[in-house]
């Protein structure tokens, strides 16, 4: 008869199933932290931006944010109210953000995924489907936007308010 240890569970009788065995699955630390990339202009930084960063950070260990330069925005037909240097500084100061860098063209995303070892590109749902071509390189996630707030709408409201005073 084999010796038993007071720390070991009793052996199952011959022919018994394993349904009586209780296991505890313990997550092993990953060899490397999970990394998410997100992109945006982040003009008129608001609660929607903050919540996006927070939700991404809840899912991934590291959040790397690319902030669109003023020159890239001009190519997209957009004009920021807040200059690039200020926007990237505000994003970098956010506690959920681990690293920031400049977004200068549409084609850099593939390079960024490789350079930063990204496991995912995470964007707001207003971009749904636009970055699915990146799925060959990493996971692509579209998170719901924060209802009732957007930089575009804020700018439109400010412009309308200024025009109504004139």
The answer to whether 76 is a known catalytic residue is: yes
Helix (H, G, I), strand (E, B) or coil at 16: coil
- Catalytic residue, from 76, 109, 135, 155: name it: 76
SS3 (DSSP) at 100 = strand
Helix boundaries (H) for the chain:
47-59, 70-75, 84-93, 109-116, 151-165
What is the largest distance, in Å, between two alpha-carbon atoms of the chain?
A: 97
The C-alpha atoms of residue 32 and residue 138 are separated, in whole angstroms, by 15
DSSP character string of 31-44: SS--EEEEEE--TT
**Neighbouring-strand partners of residue 56:** none
HSE-up of 86 (CA within 13 Å, CB side)? 7
Contact predicate 42/96, CB 8 Å:
no
- Residue 57 falls in the annotated catalytic set: no
- Which residues participate in catalysis according to the annotation? 76, 78
């Amino acid at each position: 008869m084999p010796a038993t240890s007071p720390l070991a569970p009793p052996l199952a009788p011959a022919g018994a199933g394993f349904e009586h065995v209780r296991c505890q699955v313990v997550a092993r630390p990953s060899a490397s932290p999970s990394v998410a990339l997100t992109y945006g202009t982040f003009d008129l930084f608001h609660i929607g931006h903050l919540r996006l960063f927070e939700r991404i950070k809840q899912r991934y260990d590291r959040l790397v944010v690319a902030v669109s330069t003023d020159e890239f925005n001009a190519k997209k037909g957009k004009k920021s109210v807040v200059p690039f240097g200020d926007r990237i500084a505000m994003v970098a100061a956010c506690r959920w953000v681990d690293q920031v860098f400049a977004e200068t063209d549409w084609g850099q995303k593939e390079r960024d995924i490789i350079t930063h070892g990204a496991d995912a590109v995470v964007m707001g749902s207003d971009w749904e489907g636009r970055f699915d071509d990146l799925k060959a390189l990493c996971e692509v996630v579209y998170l719901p936007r924060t209802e009732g707030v957007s930089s575009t709408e804020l700018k439109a409201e400010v412009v309308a308010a200024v025009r109504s005073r004139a």
